[in-house]
Structure formats: C-alpha cells, structure tokens
Structure 1
Amino acid sequence: MLEFVIKRTAQMLVVIFLALTVVFFLIRLSGDPTALFLPPDAPREQLDKYRELLGFDQPLIIQYKDFMINAVQGDFGDSLRTREDALSVVLDRLPATFQLALSALVVSIVIAIPIGVLSAYKRNTIFDRIGVALTVLGQAVPSFWLGLILIYFFAATLNILPSGGGGSPLHMVLPTLTLAAYSVARFARFTRSTMLDVLRKDYIRTARASGVPMIKVLSKYALKNSLIPIITLVALDLGVLLGGAVITEVVFSWPGIGRLLMQSLLNRDFPIVLAGVFLIAVIYSVINFIADLLYAYVNPQIRVK
C-alpha cells in the first residue's frame, strides 16, 4: 500500500508541475505585460526599467527557472496590477468558487438520480425517451449559451432573479443551474446505465417475484447497489465543476477564481494566472488522489497497476 501511495503522490506532483509549465509558456505568448501598466506615451527607457524591475528582461528560460524555484516555496509573486500577493488573492476567491461548485453538485444529484432511476425502470417508454433526450440536451448545450438564456428569461423578462453578482442566495440560483446542467445530464445517464445492470440481477427478479413493492425494490435493493459507482463519479465530478466554473462565473459576474483568472488573462497578470492554475491543479489532483486511495483500499488488485 505504501508503494502505491508513493507512486500516486509522484504522479500528482508531475501533473501539477506539467500544468504550471504549460501555462507559464502559453501565457507568455500573449505578449509583454509591461505596456499595459504604463501610459501609451511612456518613453522607451521607462519601459525597459519597468521590465527589468519585474524581471521580464531576462531570457524566458531564466524566468521559468526563477518562477519554479519560488513556486516550490509557495511564492508566486505579486499581482502586476494590485501588487498584492498572488496566491493570497486567489485563495480569497476560493470560497466563492467552492460554494458555487458544491451547490451545483447537490442540485445535480437531487435532479439526476430520480431521472436516471425512472428512465431505467420505465425503459423504452415515453418517460425513458424524455429522460434520455434531456440528458443529451444537457450535454450538448454550451454553458455560456444556457446562462445567457436563463438571464434573458428570469432576470431581464420576468425580473424575478438577479442577473449576476453575489451576496445573497438568490444570486446563486442561475449560476448554479447553469453549472449543474452538464453534470445533471452526466449523472442521469450514468445512473440509468448502472440501474439497468442492477435490475437484471437475479436477486431483483426474486424480490419482485416475492411480491416486494416496486418502490422498495428500486430504493432498497436496486439504487442502493448502484450507489458505489455513482458516488465515485460524483466525487470526481467536484474537480470538474471547480475547473468548469470559469465560464459560468464570467457570464454571471460571480466573484470566484474563474472570473479572476479570466480578468487576469485579459490583463496579462501572469502571477495571478499561475497561482490560480496551481490551486485548481492541486485541488483536482488531490480529489483524484483520494479516489485512487479509496479504490486501492476497496480493491487491492488496483495497487499493482
């Protein structure tokens, strides 16, 4: 078990290292950020001095080496725009992103599991066709388009919900529904597939033949034995929701990491972007790491892979 933990820990560190490396070089393609922080008519000498102050006068490989040395120590530098510690700025936005992701996860579970169970029980009926159609639609509709449609109907037309921002539970409704749409479709399809497999088992046929009420068969026997893979998918999907919240936060002006990263990309605020990518990579990797440990605990055969 110890060897398995060490192996997975090493893989997690490699993923974080590669994520930071790729993003470091990609954001440099957007150009020199110093021009954005000085007046357009600033003399060349002032530009060169500012670049030297920020370290952008060094060769790219030297900048990368210095960044990695500091990043290992938890230092991602200061924001180029606000001069605040980059990692602290990102951490301040983390609770809002977690709040949105967790609420979307809860909504996804509450809506998706009943749809999946009903579709499996009513297989090849109108209920099943509607359920499958909704899941396909949920996976096909872009989140930004869905967000704009919800804003148009509930905020602009009906004027019953705020169109964006944060501060109250009402502000969470539209972004939560938007972010949850894809997960609802994903969970519902997976629940339907898992339930169909369980409903074919002999003990389910025996329970039904013994006169056990169908609602009890579905809830106590079928759904209970389908929950293990569903719970696994739900746990892993939390990382997906955290990463996928970027577009939703931008559309609804939600004060989370996603919106901060988008603004920082447009402003070429490299330290904020790298600190945000690091935090998201760590969270996603840790979630997958915990899932791997649970797999290894439940099924020892996984440890040798």
Structure 2
Amino acid sequence: MIDYVIKRGSQMIIVVLLALTAVFFLVRLAGDPTALFLPADASREQIEEYRHLLGFDRPLLIQYTEFMTNAIQGDFGQSLRTSEDALQMILARLPATFQLAFTALGLSLVVAIPIGIITAYKKNSLLDYLGVSMTVLGQAIPSFWLGLILIFIFAAHLKWVPSGGGGSTVHLVLPAVTLAAYSIARFARFTRSTMADVLRKDYIRTARSSGIPVSRILFRYAFKNTLIPIITLVALDLGVLLGGAVITEVVFAWPGIGKLLMQALLNRDFPVVMAGVFFVAMIYCLINFLVDVLYAYVNPQIRFK
C-alpha cells in the first residue's frame, strides 16, 4: 500500500507539472497583456517600464523557470488586475464551487440511479423508451440554453427563485438543476446499460428462480456489481464540476472558480489562470487516487500494485 501511494504520488506531481507547463505556454500565445492594464494614453516608455516590472520583457524560458520555481513553493504571484494573491483568490471561491458541485452531483445520483435501474429492469417497455428518450434529450440540451430557459420560467415569469448570484440556498436551486441535468442523463443511461448486462448473468437468473424478491435482486446483487464503472463515471464528473462548471457559473453569476477563471482568461490575468489550473489538476489527481482506493473496497479481488 505504501509503495502504491508513493508511486501514485509521483505520478500526480508529474501530471500537475505537465499541466502547468502546457497552460503556461498556451496562455502566452494570447500575447503581451501589459497594455490592458495601463491607460489608453500611456506612452511607449511607460508600457516598457511596466513590462519590465512584470517580467514580460525577459525570454520565455527564463519566465517559465522562474514561474515553476515559485509555483513549487506555492507562490503563483499576484493578480495583474487586482494585485491580490492569485492562489488565495482561487481558494476564496472554493466554498461556492464545492457547494454547487456537490449539490449537483448529489441531485444527479438521487435521480439518475433509480431511473437507470428501473429502465434496465423494464427493458423494451414503454417506461424504458420514455426513460431513454429523456436521457438522450438531457444530453442533447446545451446547458447555457437550459439555464436561460429556467431563468425565464422560474425567475422572470414565476418569480419563485432569484435569477443569479449567490449567498443563500435559494440562489443554488437553478444553477444546481442546470448543472445536474447533463449528469442525470449520462448517469441514468450508463446505469441502465451496465444493469442490463448484469441482469442477463446466470446468477441473477438463479436468484430469480429461487424466489428472491425483485428489489433485493436489483439493489443487493445486480447493482453492487455495477458500482465500479459507475464510481469511475462519478469521479470523472466530480472532477469536472469541482474544476468549475464555467458556463453554468457565468449564466447564473455564481461566484465560483469557473466564473473567476473565465474572467481571468478574458483579462489575460496569467497568475490567476495558472493558480486555477494548478488547483483543477490537483483535484483531478486526488479524485482519481481516491477512486482507485475505493475500488479495492467495492471489489476485494482488486489489489494495489
């Protein structure tokens, strides 16, 4: 187990460093952002002086070396627009992102898994066709369009909930539903597919012929053997959600990491972008590690190597 943790820890470090390296050079393709942070009438001398102050006049490889040296120590610099610590800005948005992501994920699982199990059991019935149609529709609808429709109906017309912002549970309703819609459709469809395969197994037929109640067969025997692929899918979705559901956060003005990163990209605020990439990469790596550990508890045949 210790050897496995060391091995995965080394892999995580490499992945994070590679992600930072790739994004560092990609954001530089947008050009020098110096002029964006000075008045329109700034002289050439003032622009060059500010470029030198920010370090953008140095060779790119030197900038990269200095950045990685500081990043390893947890220093991503200050925001070019607000002069705040970049990593602290990301961490300040963390509670809002956690709140939205876990609410959407919980809603997805509560709704999708029963739909997937029932439609798999009632395969080729009217209920199954209805469920499959809903999952296809849920995956096809763009999240920004769904968000705007929900705002129009429930915020603008019915006035049941606010149209955006954060601060209370009622502000969470529309963005959580919008963010969960795609995951509900995907989880339900995936659960149906894996459950349908398991329900064709011989041991399930034996359990049915033995007179075991259907609910016990579905949830104790069949569903348990679909958990590993479902856990993998949930982990991937959780990584995306915690990384920042950019479109949803922008549509609803939700004060999370996704909205902050979108603003930083538009403003070419490189330190904030890099701090956000670091956080997202770490989240993905940690989730994958925890999922691998969880596999061993779900399936005792799995051993760490």
CA shift, 1:212, in A, is 3.1
Given that 2:235 and 2:287 are in contact with CA atoms closer than 8 Å, whether structure 1 keeps it comes out as yes
1:166-204, CA deviations, whole angstroms, 9 ceiling, x for partnerless residues? 011111111111111121112111211221122223332
Partner of 1:49: 49
1:77-92 counterparts in 2 under 5 A? Answer: 77-92=77-92
1:65-84 counterparts in 2 under 5 A? Answer: 65-84=65-84
What is the identity, as a one-letter code, of the residue corresponding to 2:261? Answer: L
Structure 2 length normalisation: TM-score?
A: 0.93
Structure 1 length normalisation: TM-score?
A: 0.93
Partner of 2:96: 96
* Identical residues among aligned pairs (%): 70
Partner of 1:270: 270
CA distance in 2, matches of 1:25, 1:146: 35
Given that 1:147 and 1:178 are in contact with CA atoms closer than 8 Å, whether structure 2 keeps it comes out as yes
Would the alpha carbon gap of residues 127 and 158 (structure 1) be closer, same or farther in structure 2, given more than 3 Å must change? same
Unaligned runs of 5+ in 1: none
Partner of 1:192: 192
Q: 4+ residue stretches of structure 1 with deviation over 6 A?
A: none
Partner of 2:254: 254
Given that 2:165 and 2:254 are in contact with CA atoms closer than 8 Å, whether structure 1 keeps it comes out as yes
Would the alpha carbon gap of residues 296 and 114 (structure 1) be closer, same or farther in structure 2, given more than 3 Å must change? closer
Given that 2:243 and 2:283 are in contact with CA atoms closer than 8 Å, whether structure 1 keeps it comes out as no
CA distance in 2, matches of 1:6, 1:224: 30
CA distance in 2, matches of 1:291, 1:69: 31
1:124-174, CA deviations, whole angstroms, 9 ceiling, x for partnerless residues? 111111111121222222222221121122112222121110011111111
CA distance in 1, matches of 2:133, 2:75: 48
Partner of 2:283: 283
Q: For 2:31, what is the secondary structure of its paired residue?
A: coil
CA shift, 1:215, in A, is 2.9
CA shift, 1:2, in A, is 4.1
Partner of 1:182: 182
Partner of 2:131: 131
Q: For 2:30, what is the secondary structure of its paired residue?
A: coil
Moved more, 116-125 or 147-156: 147-156
Given that 1:116 and 1:191 are in contact with CA atoms closer than 8 Å, whether structure 2 keeps it comes out as yes
Q: For 1:46, what is the secondary structure of its paired residue?
A: helix
Moved more, 289-298 or 200-209: 289-298
CA distance in 1, matches of 2:287, 2:83: 32
- Say yes or no: does 1:233 pair with 2:237: no
CA distance in 2, matches of 1:9, 1:207: 43
- Say yes or no: does 1:119 pair with 2:143: no
Given that 2:148 and 2:251 are in contact with CA atoms closer than 8 Å, whether structure 1 keeps it comes out as yes
CA distance in 2, matches of 1:174, 1:134: 19
Q: For 1:255, what is the secondary structure of its paired residue?
A: coil
1:259-302, CA deviations, whole angstroms, 9 ceiling, x for partnerless residues? 00111111111111110110011011111122234446744566
CA distance in 2, matches of 1:172, 1:209: 47
CA distance in 2, matches of 1:302, 1:32: 47
1:93-121, CA deviations, whole angstroms, 9 ceiling, x for partnerless residues? 01110111100110000110111011101
Q: For 2:212, what is the secondary structure of its paired residue?
A: coil
CA distance in 1, matches of 2:286, 2:224: 27
CA distance in 2, matches of 1:155, 1:266: 28
What is the identity, as a one-letter code, of the residue corresponding to 1:50? Answer: Y
Q: For 2:39, what is the secondary structure of its paired residue?
A: coil
CA shift, 1:222, in A, is 2.5
Given that 2:79 and 2:269 are in contact with CA atoms closer than 8 Å, whether structure 1 keeps it comes out as yes
Q: For 1:167, what is the secondary structure of its paired residue?
A: coil
Given that 2:111 and 2:184 are in contact with CA atoms closer than 8 Å, whether structure 1 keeps it comes out as yes
Q: For 2:116, what is the secondary structure of its paired residue?
A: helix
Question: Over aligned residues, Cα RMSD in angstroms?
Answer: 1.9
Would the alpha carbon gap of residues 90 and 135 (structure 1) be closer, same or farther in structure 2, given more than 3 Å must change? same
What is the identity, as a one-letter code, of the residue corresponding to 1:192? Answer: R
Would the alpha carbon gap of residues 256 and 64 (structure 1) be closer, same or farther in structure 2, given more than 3 Å must change? same
Q: For 2:93, what is the secondary structure of its paired residue?
A: helix
CA distance in 1, matches of 2:127, 2:162: 33
